[in-house]
Amino acid sequence: FYLLQIPLAWTACVPNKHKPWIETEYQGIVMENDNTVLLNPPLFALDKDAPLHYAGEICGFRVHNGPGGSGSTQFEAVVLDRSTGEGLVRSKEPLDCESHKEHSFTIQAYDCGEGPDGTNSKKSHKATVHVRVNDVNEFSPVFVERRYEASVPEDRLFDRIVRVEAIDADCSPQYSQICFYDIITPNVPFTIDNDGNIKNTEPLDSKRQRVHSFWVTAFDCGKNRAQADAQVIVTVKPSCKPGWIGWTKRIEYTPGSGSIPLFPNLRLEACEETVWNIQATVELQTGHIGKGCDRDSYSDRSVRRLCGAVRGEVDLLPPPSPATNWTTALPTLPSSDSSLVFSFNGSTHVAVVPDSVASAVSGDHFTLQLWMRRGGASTQPPANQARGTRKEEETIICSTVKNDDSYSHYSLSVHGCRLSLFYWPDVSATRPVKFLWKLEQVCDSEWHHLSLSVQFPSVTLYVDGVTFDPALIHDNGAIPNPAPHQRLVIGACWDIVNNTMPESKDTGKFVSGYKGLLSGVTVRPGNVEPHSVVECLYACREGLDFGDLETLGSGMKVHVNPSQSVLVLEGDEIESFNRAVQQVTYKNSLRFATPGVRPLKLTTSLRCFSEESCLSLRQMEGYLVVLQPDAPQISLSGVGPHLARPAAEFEGPQGVPLFPELRIVCSLSHAVNTAAQGMEGGALMSDAVAHTLDGCEVQPLGEELNSEREELLVDMEALKERGLDIINTTAYIAITGAESISVYEDVLRSICYRLAKGSARFERRFRLSCSEMNGRYTSNELTLEVNFLHSLDSLYHPSHLLASQQQFLHPSHHTGELSGHTLPNPHRNSVVPGAATVIIMVCVGFLVVMVILGVFRIRSIHRRSEGARGGGKEGSSQWDDSALNIIVNPMETYENRMGIATDMEGECDDEEEVVDSPDDTSDDQRIIKKEGRDSAPRRY
């Protein structure tokens, strides 16, 4: 301890007249590892009663709590010399500078009073003591991080690559401050300053050394070293080139896998350039897929039905056929979505719709829908233009129809990038009105869907499912009326100003020819289509999308065009922008997506604070490959290869069902989207249909059906109720329309085959097949042979023989009504098939032998009965031929071999019974059981 001596007075026991005196304030210092407080000034208590004994001595000091409230508990004051009044202040317990740097308390001095017992002692005034705890360097520095990492580009010197930091828990500035850092790993091209900043001493080369790892330590000002050293890892990047990093040129997509991210590892490198706006445009090119993207591979009619469109539309460009021959001369192009695409060259390619069809679409309320692509056909300019002022106008459809006693006229045309509807409600009275739209879609040489709903004077235009208002509506003033003739033309128009109307298909009189491609041109009179139906008709089943909009960072914007072929991202922060780019996805909801390549482009534009040094990024190009989908296995079963029935059943009014137990199974099935089924306009096509077929065909093999003697019966009401179409000819029956498997099963099971009286033959073969996706996937071919069972009497009846002979030796021939079906040779199978002929000849010979044996046996029995005495034999041993009928079925043994049970009930008399032979080794064996006999049958 440091002791301060305070002289004290010594006197005899005399009265205590004066109080002790001490300084009013003391400043003290104490070390953390010591408990003695060094006071300034030193602690001395003075008493004026000195040198009186007791009264002039100091017996003690008393410590009181100060502002901090810790004096009486942590400190004490003791007297070192009573006579001098010297005292000492010390702490009762060790002090901690880190927890409490300063302490304040008060102190008083007491004299010894008037005697040994301390009576009448006096105390001094209170003095304030301030004690500061001095720090001891007891803690070592500790690094904030145990590992520091940084990345730097090569070939550059940096003022600072990374900063390390250490802290010290000591309370004093001397020991708590880090005085310097040191790199303890030798021979590294880095240095560190006293603030912990690390920089390179030479340019770094990524090829020579990609990663540098070294250790650093820290010292406080008391020269204590850090408890643990820190590791520093510096990665050297190749020279920074602004652009996209992680671009994958080829991306594969498996049909049915939903949405996949296009750029999961893509990020933008700006090379420390300060960027304040980033915009990226992702383009998916699908113009070569069908009509601009992957849509359902059903026919336009089936798609309209699946979208819930109102029925009653008239197809103005139907497939060529004898009944719809006005499209025969138009060239067609193949299409991946199974639709029929017609090409127009602006001159010779014109379709004139018959008046019977045109009259069905008359009126001032109608909806016109079509797919168009300008410039899609390689054509030559027209040889001669009727009017030079209109040579650039191209007419898509031009119609003059009769409404009661008046005529109305309208035409839909394109001129540059403008679409116009010229409408004349009454050519004899009302003046025409022209509606004009300025659209980029008209002149971009891509497929677009147009839906024009006319409720004059209101006109609504949908392009690719988006509504467009007319840019201009005006009255064209006085124009000479067109000739009052009904005419509907696709691909051109006639010169209405000169009142010329071609009476025949004279291409020289048609003007304003259309150059391009058209498909699915339909008109439906009456009310307009709902918007949801129009959107469904156009809806792409593939396109770009954004994964999760909720994860889109602040300041980010995303926009997708209606066709989902262009996606635009915009933001102002690179890290948020990189996260958003990785959320861009490709989706295709078709289970059987169209395989092929979709080119992909990424265009980026940057805006910097310094426009002069702003980065310029090149366009990134790649492609998405849609792999070949797994083909569905459509299986037809449940129908035996043979169907044998008595001929009389086929001659009934209902005929005989050909496929009563038909089963259709597909190995793949679509998922049902129950949420879409409740939407206006119906289900959204493929994903909302459990599994659909779009056509089945029943075709007679060999000869075509003889319409006078045989026919296939179909329930037309059921077909109409389900919206299915049918083509019924002597060559085949085709049922078409997108419907579920269960519906097609019900329809096909109800198909019956009926014969006219006396027209039964020996066999007839049919073939059944089904398909989906407009013939893209087909089923197995199910062949059915129909056998007609004849009784012996009817088989050899003269009229039947004559009919059969006429049928087989003089068959009738009919040509098919539709193209695309190969008809059999009319002379093929013109006689009885060889197998049937052999069976008949064997059966007839067998019958003759049986008759001879029967006659011989009867005579033998009569001889034995005449020579017998005392009566005849038992009835069980006699041959009763009173009701003997012999029936020979030439197909019976064949049926037994194939496992087909033949129902002969009603063909024979009640007393006759034919039993199948258990032995199938010979086709000529028959078992004949006689009436009333219980004995075992005989085998011949």
pLDDT at 796 over 80: no
Amino acid 525: pLDDT: 82
What is the distance between the alpha carbons of residues 281 and 262, in angstroms, rounded to a whole number? Answer: 13
Contacts of residue 423, defined as CB under 8 A and 6 or more positions apart, other chains included, come to 408, 409, 410, 432, 433, 434, 435, 454, 456, 459
Peptide bond into 51 cis (omega under 30): yes
What is the distance between the alpha carbons of residues 97 and 139, in angstroms, rounded to a whole number? Answer: 12
> Angle 552-556-561 (CA atoms, 0-180°, nearest 5)?
90
Residue ranges of E strands in 308-393: 314-315, 332-333, 341-345, 351-353, 365-374
With left for phi above 0 and alpha for psi between -120 and 50, is residue 363 left, alpha or beta? left
What is the distance between the alpha carbons of residues 794 and 100, in angstroms, rounded to a whole number? Answer: 128
Amino acid 143: pLDDT: 93
Residue among 809, 748, 820, 744 at smallest CA distance from 784: 748
Amino acid 769: pLDDT: 94
Amino acid 675: pLDDT: 36
Amino acid 480: pLDDT: 54
Whether the Cβ atoms of residue 884 and residue 920 lie closer than 8 Å to each other: no
pLDDT, tens digit, 9 for 90 and up, residues 36-71: 777 778 877 777 777 777 777 888 888 888 765 566
Residues in the chain: 940
Tokens of 938: 């005989």
What is the distance between the alpha carbons of residues 685 and 432, in angstroms, rounded to a whole number? Answer: 40
Amino acid 386: pLDDT: 36
Amino acid 13: pLDDT: 52
What is the distance between the alpha carbons of residues 136 and 259, in angstroms, rounded to a whole number? Answer: 66
Distance spanning both ends of the chain, measured CA to CA = 144
Residue among 438, 448, 468 at smallest CA distance from 531: 468
Whether the Cβ atoms of residue 111 and residue 20 lie closer than 8 Å to each other: yes
Dihedrals phi, psi of 764, to nearest 5 degrees: -150, 135
DSSP alpha helices (H): ranges in 143-228?
173-176
Residue among 568, 579, 571 at smallest CA distance from 601: 568
Higher pLDDT, 819 or 471: 471
pLDDT at 582 over 50: yes
pLDDT, tens digit, 9 for 90 and up, residues 358-380: 777 766 788 888 889 887 544 33
| Locus of tokens 């005929």 | 655
Amino acid 613: pLDDT: 56
Mean pLDDT to the nearest integer, 229-237: 93
- Can you name the residues that pair with 46 across neighbouring β-strands? 21
797: pLDDT confidence band, cut at 50, 70 and 90? Answer: very low
> Angle 736-741-746 (CA atoms, 0-180°, nearest 5)?
80
DSSP secondary structure of 53-108: TTTTSEEEEEEEE-TTS-HHHHEEEEEEETTTTEEEEEESS---TTT-SEEEEEEE
pLDDT, tens digit, 9 for 90 and up, residues 79-98: 888 878 888 888 887 887 87
| Locus of tokens 């409404």 | 403
Higher pLDDT, 683 or 163: 163
pLDDT at 919 over 80: no
Find the range with the poorest average confidence among 154-163, 402-411, 869-878. Answer: 869-878
Higher pLDDT, 19 or 809: 19
Domains and CATH numbers, the chain: 25-134 (2.60.40.60), 142-237 (2.60.40.60), 243-287+574-626 (2.60.40), 300-376+393-497+508-538 (2.60.120.200), 632-668+689-789 (2.60.40)
Max mean pLDDT among 120-124, 266-270, 279-283 falls in 279-283
pLDDT at 615 over 50: yes
Amino acid 877: pLDDT: 37
| Locus of tokens 């028959």 | 926
Amino acid 658: pLDDT: 92
668: pLDDT confidence band, cut at 50, 70 and 90? Answer: low
DSSP state of 937: P
Q: How high is the mean pLDDT of the chain?
A: 75
With left for phi above 0 and alpha for psi between -120 and 50, is residue 564 left, alpha or beta? left
Dihedrals phi, psi of 898, to nearest 5 degrees: -90, -5
Amino acid 86: pLDDT: 85
Residue ranges of E strands in 505-619: 510-511, 515-525, 542-546, 557-560, 566-571, 584-588, 596-608
Residue 520 burial (CB count, 10 A): 24
Max mean pLDDT among 1-10, 128-137, 154-163 falls in 154-163
Amino acid 806: pLDDT: 40
Tokens of 673: 């989207």
Residue among 689, 730, 727, 693 at smallest CA distance from 709: 730
Amino acid 479: pLDDT: 55
Residue 394 burial (CB count, 10 A): 22
What percentage of the chain exceeds 90 in pLDDT? 19
Amino acid 820: pLDDT: 34
Contacts of residue 895, defined as CB under 8 A and 6 or more positions apart, other chains included, come to 642, 644, 787, 901, 902
What is the distance between the alpha carbons of residues 524 and 536, in angstroms, rounded to a whole number? Answer: 17
pLDDT, tens digit, 9 for 90 and up, residues 177-221: 888 999 999 999 999 999 999 999 999 998 899 999 999 999 988
What is the distance between the alpha carbons of residues 789 and 193, in angstroms, rounded to a whole number? Answer: 111
What is the distance between the alpha carbons of residues 214 and 184, in angstroms, rounded to a whole number? Answer: 8
Higher pLDDT, 737 or 312: 737
CA atoms within 13 A on the CB side of 759: 19
763: pLDDT confidence band, cut at 50, 70 and 90? Answer: confident
Amino acid 207: pLDDT: 87
pLDDT at 10 over 70: no
Quick one: 869 exposed, middle or buried, by C-beta within 10 A (0-12, 13-18, 19+)? exposed
- Decide the pairing of beta strands 341-345 and 557-560: unpaired
Mean pLDDT to the nearest integer, 404-417: 79
What percentage of the chain exceeds 70 in pLDDT? 73
Contacts of residue 294, defined as CB under 8 A and 6 or more positions apart, other chains included, come to 286, 337, 540, 541, 542, 588, 590, 593, 594, 626
Whether the Cβ atoms of residue 245 and residue 620 lie closer than 8 Å to each other: no
User: Would the CA dihedral through 562, 563, 564, 570 be positive or negative?
Assistant: negative
DSSP state of 629: P
For every residue of 881-931, which 3-state class applies, written as one string? CCCCCCCCCCCHHHHHHHCCCCCCCCCCCCCCEECCCCCCCCCCCCEEECC
Find the range with the poorest average confidence among 108-117, 153-162, 240-249, 797-806. Answer: 797-806
Mean pLDDT to the nearest integer, 435-455: 86
Amino acid 475: pLDDT: 66
Mean pLDDT to the nearest integer, 510-527: 85
| Locus of tokens 């044998």 | 644
Residue among 168, 171, 189 at smallest CA distance from 234: 189
* H or E element, residue 199: strand 197-200
DSSP state of 551: G
* H or E element, residue 700: strand 692-701
Mean pLDDT to the nearest integer, 461-465: 86
The helix/strand/coil state of 676 is helix
What is the distance between the alpha carbons of residues 147 and 286, in angstroms, rounded to a whole number? Answer: 50
Max mean pLDDT among 39-48, 251-260, 884-893 falls in 251-260
pLDDT, tens digit, 9 for 90 and up, residues 474-515: 766 555 555 566 778 898 886 654 444 444 444 447 788 899
Quick one: 191 exposed, middle or buried, by C-beta within 10 A (0-12, 13-18, 19+)? exposed
pLDDT, tens digit, 9 for 90 and up, residues 767-782: 999 988 777 788 999 9
pLDDT, tens digit, 9 for 90 and up, residues 693-731: 888 999 999 889 988 888 999 988 888 888 788 888 889
Taking each continuous run of H as one helix and of E as one strand, the counts in the chain are: 14, 59
Higher pLDDT, 333 or 892: 333
Mean pLDDT to the nearest integer, 670-675: 39
pLDDT at 261 over 80: yes
Amino acid 916: pLDDT: 40
Measured CA to CA in angstroms, residue 851 lies from 522, 871, 938 at distances of 72, 28, 15
Whether the Cβ atoms of residue 453 and residue 367 lie closer than 8 Å to each other: yes
Contacts of residue 389, defined as CB under 8 A and 6 or more positions apart, other chains included, come to none
| Locus of tokens 């077909």 | 719
| Locus of tokens 């990189």 | 578
Tokens of 836: 């049937």
Whether the Cβ atoms of residue 156 and residue 145 lie closer than 8 Å to each other: no
pTM of the entire structure?
A: 0.52
pLDDT at 433 over 50: yes
pLDDT, tens digit, 9 for 90 and up, residues 274-315: 888 889 999 998 877 777 777 766 666 667 777 767 677 788
Q: Which residues of 356-377 are buried (b: 16+ CB within 10 A; e: fewer)?
A: ebbeebbeeebbbbbbbbbebb
Max mean pLDDT among 307-316, 395-404, 526-535, 710-719 falls in 710-719
